[in-house]
A = this chain, B = another copy of it.
Amino acid sequence: MMDDRERLTLDEVHELVASVLTRHGLAPAHVEACADVMTAGERDGGGSHGIFRLLMCMNSIRAGKVSLDAEPVVEDAAQGIVRVDAGGAFAPLAFRRGLPALVQKAREVGLAAMAVNDCCHFAALFPEVEAIAREGLVGFAFTPSHAWVAPAGGSRPLLGTNPIAFGWPRPAGDPFVFDFATSASARGELELHRREDRPTPPGWGVDASGTPTTDAAEILEGAMLPFGGHKGSALSLMVELIAGPLIGDLTSVDSIAYDAGAKGAPLGGELLLAIDPSRMLGDGAPKHLARAEAIFEGVVSQGARLPSLRRYEARRKSEAEGVLIPRKLLDEVRAMLV
């Protein structure tokens, strides 16, 4: 069988994404930040967080649902709180502009929060918590999305896929990072099952009457479900609250109403937290960070998977060899250049 994928270097991925976004009027600073994030997604394993996300971004741009050039406005809201008003533009530039204040406040006060408001969020959260962890801080990130998910025991979409991400600085090497949707599946995985007319694993969703089903088309008419039953549902509610009303921004219900069928990226806010181990532990910080390594060793020594290891393996491979992109996707993206 012919491999219908094409190999690109990461520079070529970046260049392609940047060209498409520039061609469609995105301001240079946003182009750079968005292309960095999509290239990082492709580099770390691709799938739905790489070049593929350009389709969702282009839906937002074409429907006029995203500002092409808003300059993020950074506001010092309290000693421990920085707020960034993204002005309805894509999120990556707003995060980038707010990060130095988040880091500085966490080092001064011991911990800090950053609310990114009115942003169009198309990416995974790992780049954000990884950036925080690379500053030597413990990082958390939360964001709602579009209302696609019913609470456990329910049948109607209320919650987003509401991801939670966490980053932990490791003295030597790459931070420990995880980043997952609190829904049982990603939205993209569900859509893939529908396109291929494959049954989903059990637990992904319910039909419009609230009955569990493995028919992806029925779930798309009904509702996705949280992972892990009522516990995952509670976490999803938490994300909805702390990255919605707590920061004065949209809920997943608000976001999908704003989208109005454009299939664009969710609009709303993101909450980031950073804690400085050095302020918590003083001189004891290096000793205790070293103790954390025994926990990681306890995971890998029994053959269990340590979150983020696969990501870093994929990264090293991509940096050395480039990435393989489905030709069909590349054709679709290149057509956006003309």
Contacts and interface: CB of A to CB of B under 8 A. Distances in A.
A153 to B, nearest CB: 4
Interface in A229-252: 229-235, 237-238, 240-242, 244-248, 251
A78 B280 CA distance: 8
Contacts of A202: none
A280 B231 contact: no
A110 interface: yes
Interface stretch (A31-39, A43-51, A283-291, A315-323): A283-291
Contacts of A237: 176, 178, 295, 299, 307
A192 to B, nearest CB: 20
A80 interface: yes
Contacts of A164: 235
Taking each of A155, A241, A244, A245, which has the highest tally of chain B beta carbons within 10 Å of its own beta carbon? A245
A305 B230 CA distance: 8
Interface stretch (A21-29, A53-61, A66-74, A111-119): A111-119
Interface residues of A, number: 71
Given A81-B111, A248-B284, A251-B291, A299 B158 contact: yes
A281 interface: yes
Contact of A77 (B152, B155, B279): B279
Interface string A119-152: 0000000000000000000100000000000111
Main secondary structure of the interface of A (DSSP, over half): mixed
A235 to B, nearest CB: 8
Given A78-B279, A158-B299, A291-B251, A304 B151 contact: yes
Contacts of A298: 151, 156, 158, 253
B156 A240 contact: no
A230 B279 contact: no
Contact of A81 (B248, B253, B280): B280
B227 A154 contact: no
A110 to B, nearest CB: 3
B248 A280 contact: yes
A151 B284 CA distance: 27
Contact of A79 (B109, B151, B153, B178): B109
